[in-house]
Structure 1
Amino acid sequence: MKKILTVLMVTIVTITAYAQLTPFELSKDKNYTATYAQVISYYQKLSKQHPQMKLINYGMTDIGKPLTLVILSKDKMFDPALIKKQNKRVLLINNGIHPGEPEGIDASMMLVRDLLTKNQLPNDVVLCFIAVYNIDGCLNRGLSRVSQNGPEAYGFRGNYRNLDLNRDFIKADSRNALAFMKILNTWNPEVFLDNHTSDGADYQYIMTLIETQKDKQNPILADYTSKTLSPELYKRMKQTGYEMIPYVEGGRGGTPDSGIVAYLETPRYATGYTAQHNIISYITETHMLKPFDKRVYGTYNFMQHLISIVQRDHKLIGELKHRADEQVSKQTSFAMNWELDASRYDTITFKGYAALHKPSEVSGMSRLYYDRSKLWTRTIKYYNTYKVTQTVDKPMAYVIPQAWGKIIDLYKLNNVVMHQLAHDTTVGVQMYYIGDFRNGQRPYEGHYLHSGVQLKPTDQKVKFYVGDYVVYTNQPLNRYIVETLEPQGVDSFFAWNFFDSVLGQKEGYSDYVFEDTAAEYLRKNPDVRKKLEEEKAKNPQLAGSGRAQLNWVYNNSPYAEKTYQRYPVGRVTTDIKFDFVR
């Protein structure tokens, strides 16, 4: 009887363990990634068996399904505020932003199960996994990444609106991004990871890594990541058979042997956006041509190591985050744009394949190929220094008219502290007039991005209305505030066309009528006439055009449209005592 019971128990355990295998593990050749339905079903079953696991749905994505967050908490605490009071860290992991790069989806399913069933949950770190971020693309299953080695079928890069969601964080056109913002600003993670697959060159490594670029990251956090966290991740990955290298696209000369360039992830990207919140951030990029199972297990290994180190350093990471928040709240000058400093580089050991050329069987022209039979290891240049090309000094506060509702909504989602005016108020502020700027020839992610923005600051008295918002720049979110509201910023709200309506003139004049009005105005204002003559002497084009001179008078008269090309957000540069709604 005892023997029968033992066999029965072993059988039950075996059946239970088999039932907890993921679709990836159950597939014959480990070249299969779970469908969206399989992912959610798997997590739902697992959560019923383990009280340390909870599923919470956030928002609604563009495909009409909520964003599912998988939370693991060893002491079964799922209240973010209480977790912070317990001085625990939060690690947020994002999967499937590009569903054709699904390693993180399958690796996270295995990792969540193993942490639970092997009693390996960290004591001082709460783990949050976004099961599938781009649900829309995950449902659109096919073979769109033709240059990738498996899995046998996978999702599509774009979402239901054909947006690349890893270009959508700062502009938040998708409802997916709004749900992500809700998750991020509810759980307030200290560390963030986004799992991807690479494009580009061929080389020997399975795993490459993007970390928040050190010259763009908060210096308090950059010191820790560059000296402690990142080197430890590289060391541990090598020890477990998944040696890493910084992310490789092509190289300075097209191939890695010519040197590689550190990726600059601006706020349109996940880690650029999280960096504005002073969050330590990483992107894994497994190599697209390596077998899918190795890519999945490489991602699994990386997440294991990251969790282990965050647990080890949880107190220090918490202290550094607090110090970074304090520093940013007092920071006065902010970078708006960066460019690579090609005069400076580090050297790293790189393991590659010979990059050769041969005639193309398609065109007959010379084509690049990598010969995997010819391995090489050599020292190459790693360009990892970016210099700031533009800075701005923050004002004491910004005044945002309530008419710009999307900005107000995004600020609320991001927990920016705002105050509403209790009365109509006319105050002296600094306003920008938009001068020259450049646009792309074609839309990029649904927008004609502005760049190279020229500004003319002007001190004016401007009337703001009851309910308009004042945002003081004494907050830990100062980077997010300043980088979005200063028009010259690389991913500012102006750059993403939030304010394009101010670029259109609404009023004007009839030449033959205004001729007489302009003449009368110049007679009564000789100082303006004198200024016009001075401008004509300096500008032959103005001197030779009657229409241009008439337009000059209009623009320098009280009849000019003061809001034309005037950026509507006011910069408060003096200590104004506002009366706020209480």
Structure 2
Amino acid sequence: MSCLSISGQGKLLTVAESSDFKSTSKYDDVMNFIGQLKTSSRLIRVETIAISTEGRGIPLLIIGNPLPKSPLLPEKDDRIVVYIQANIHAGEVEGKEASLMFARDLLSEKNPDLLKHMILLICPNVNPDGNEKINPANRTNQEGPVNGVGVRYNGQFLDLNRDAMKAESPEIRGVIKKVFNEWDPSVFMDCHTTDGSYHVEPVTFTWMVNPAGDNSLIHYMRDKMIPEMSSILLKKYETGNCYYGEFKNMMKPEEGWFYDAADPRYMTNYFGLRNRLGILNENYVHADYKSRVLGCYFLIKSLADYVSANKDEIKNLLREVDAKTIRRGISPSVTDSFAIEYAVRPLPEKVTIKTYEVEPLNDPDVWPPFRRTDRQKDVTVPYYIDFFPEKSVKFPFAYLMKINDQNVADLLIIHGIKLERMSSDANLEVDRFDLSGLEGSSRLNQGHYTNKIKGKFISEKIEFPAGTLVVRTAQPLANLAAYLLEPQSNDGLLTWNFFDRYLVPQWGAGYYQYPVYKVNSPVEMKTIPLN
């Protein structure tokens, strides 16, 4: 089925629409639809941000009035950049269809007011290899489309929404390099489908939550942006919605509603570490396919409405946070810290979820051990989403890496982190990390036996030769750099095995020192920039 179907009114239709919401678009359908948009409007152009493992180009739609020829320079263009991403899990297809519908409808307006305030970037099919494996046997727990959906993994059998930090896939490397680094969007929404609890609302969404980012951004989203988007979605677009989560206990929903994915391997949390605003959209798996697509469509509209109305407020907030991050790195105080362990607590205000009563099943071989009834009920419960540090370490002035590992340097550059090399030898007071334990996981995780680390920091003077890699924290991406380089980080390069070869002697017991050192206080270093 081609997505180039035209309605009786001459309107370009997606596969979802033209099939009466029985199918979802394949790769060629998406590309043909985008081609039609380009033919019909001067306000859109398309770039390829990456080539997938199986050889498919990944398109990025760039929409603006006027259409920018290149990424924005803030001093020359005051518009705000918004990035919508869909189909990272190619069985979760609503965002793919909804984002194409939104682009079509926006471009069909004679004077789209939204484009006076924003540049819109859309990647409707970030996992094209997974998308091509459409089969009715995939995700049979969800309500359509009856003709099937794709698979969760990409052509490397990787979950792309666990790849943000290690960035091993061409898809995520493309997003980071060609979207995040080049366009620096202020707001990013990643579209998914739920797998969890029973509720009534067809749309759920929430904010980035990792506490190692700047908390003022989390508080802005939690206290203003997300509640106002929720209100727009309900009142203007008549679409029921709630904050994303699951019941701690479906049999006892009063125990609370929770969200537990705080690590920056997840794209929205990663985006928060970049000092930007990340939104996770999860459309309700048990709502029918049409309701999921339309709900996602109206959520995108609600986001666009909010951002265009609050453009200056958002841009000013992000500028302030970037400046604050740089100031901290210039001269870290004794209280500046980085969270290496965190826990979650409920928000001060409870949330109301429209749910269903369930009945237990007395069969140990059946999961879940209950069935949903048709009896609806509203519950007002604690929302466990406020992540806070339980253990922290000193935030440094700089990180130094003595080993000459081009893979690590290249990865840091891909992330957009500014690197330097020492131009002369230096004897510096640093904290080195002595390992006392390094244990790989018993089961593969995204192709890795991820490490659990034990050890302690020891302060001493060390001679660093010319050529030593320097990562100063007086840069906007300092929180991301710290998360990647701190040895006790739960999602850093040591966790993901990037330094394993340097840590374990080929003969004998014990461990070598972790090859990244912390300079805690400002010090003069002669360096040359790498990027």
Correspondence list, 1:439-450, <5 A? 439-450=440-451
The separation in 1 between residues aligned to 2:465 and 2:253, in whole angstroms, is 55
Distance 2:314 2:300 in 1: 17
**2:331 aligned residue:** none
Match 1:565 to one of 497, 505, 512: 512
Q: How does 1:263-342 map to 2 (within 5 A)?
A: 263-331=260-328, 332-341=336-345
Aligned to 1:147: 141
TM-score, normalised by the number of residues in structure 2: 0.90
Answer yes or no: is 1:79 the counterpart of 2:73.
Answer: no
* Closer, same or farther: CA 73–437 of 1 in aligned 2, 3 Å: same
Richer in helix (by share): 1
Structure 1, 346-355 or 304-313: larger mean CA deviation: 346-355
Distance 1:575 1:366, change over 3 A: closer
| Mapped pair 1:580 → 2:517 | no
- Give 1:117's match in structure 2, choosing from 108, 120, 138: 108
Aligned to 2:79: 88
Matches of 1:69 and 1:402 in 2, distance apart? 37
After TM superposition, the structure 1 stretch with the greater mean CA deviation from structure 2, 40-49 or 434-443, is 434-443
Tell me the equivalent position of 1:136: 129
1:56 and 2:47 aligned: yes
- SS of aligned partner of 2:400: strand
Change over 3 Å in CA distance of 1:405–1:350 after alignment to 2? same
Partner AA of 1:70 in structure 2: L
Equivalence for 2:370: 368
Q: Which has the higher strand share?
A: 2
Q: Aligned Cα RMSD in Å? A: 2.4
Q: Is the 8 A contact 1:345 1:383 kept in 2?
A: no
1:57 and 1:488 map into 2 onto residues whose CA distance is 36
CA-to-aligned-CA distance 1:219-268 (integer Å, 9 cap, x gap): 33233222221111111121122221121334256664431113443110
Count of residue correspondences: 511
- Would you say the 8 A contact 1:207–1:287 is kept in 2? yes
Assess if the C-alpha contact under 8 Å between 1:428 and 1:462 holds in 2.
Answer: no
Q: 1:218: how far off?
A: 2.0
Matched residues in 2 for 1:277 and 1:437: separation?
A: 29
* Alignment-mate amino acid for residue 225 of structure 1: M
Q: Tell me the amino acid that sits aligned with residue 30 of structure 1.
A: F
SS in structure 1 at match of 2:353: strand
Work out the CA distance in 2 between the residues paired with 1:108 and 1:277.
24
Letter of the structure 1 residue corresponding to residue 354 of structure 2: K
CA 1:453–1:129: 2 relative to 1, 3 Å: farther
Where 2:430 maps in the other structure, the secondary structure is strand
Give the C-alpha shift of residue 465 in structure 1.
4.2
Larger Rg: 1
SS in 2 for 1:59: strand
Q: Secondary structure at the match of 1:346?
A: coil
Give unmatched runs, 5+ long, in structure 1.
1-13, 509-550, 556-563
The CA deviation at 1:363 is 4.3
Is 2:245–2:258's contact at 8 Å kept on the other side of the alignment?
Answer: yes
On the 8 A contact 1:213/1:263 being kept in 2, the answer is no
Q: Please tell me whether the aligned partners of residues 192 and 280 of structure 1 are also in contact (alpha carbons under 8 angstroms).
A: yes
Kept in 2: contact 1:427–1:463 (CA 8 A): yes
Change in CA separation of 1:16 and 1:47 when aligned onto 2, cut-off 3 Å = farther
Say if 1:168 and 1:269, in contact at 8 Å, map to a contact too.
yes
Which residues of structure 2 form unaligned runs of 5+?
A: 1-5, 329-335
| Change in 2 beyond 3 A, CA 1:567/1:202 | same
Moved more, 572-581 or 283-292: 572-581
* Bigger shift: residues 252-261 or 103-112: 252-261
Normalised by the size of structure 1, how large is the TM-score?
Answer: 0.83
CA–CA separation in structure 2 for the residues paired with 1:441 and 1:382 = 33
Within a 5 Å distance, the mapping from 1:383-398 to structure 2 comes to 383-398=384-399
What secondary structure, in the 3-state scheme, does the structure 1 residue paired with 2:182 have? helix
Q: Which amino acid aligns with 2:130?
A: G
1:32 paired with 2:27, answer: no
Describe the superposition over 1:18-48 as per-residue Cα deviations: whole angstroms up to 9, x where unpaired: 3611121111x31211111100111012112
Q: Which residue of 2 aligns with 1:354?
A: 357
1:518 counterpart residue number: none
Identity %: 26
- Does the 8 A contact of 1:192 with 1:281 survive in 2? yes
Question: CA offsets, 1:385-421, max 9 Å, x none?
Answer: 3221121222221112462222211222232222122
Aligned partner of 2:470 in structure 1 is 470
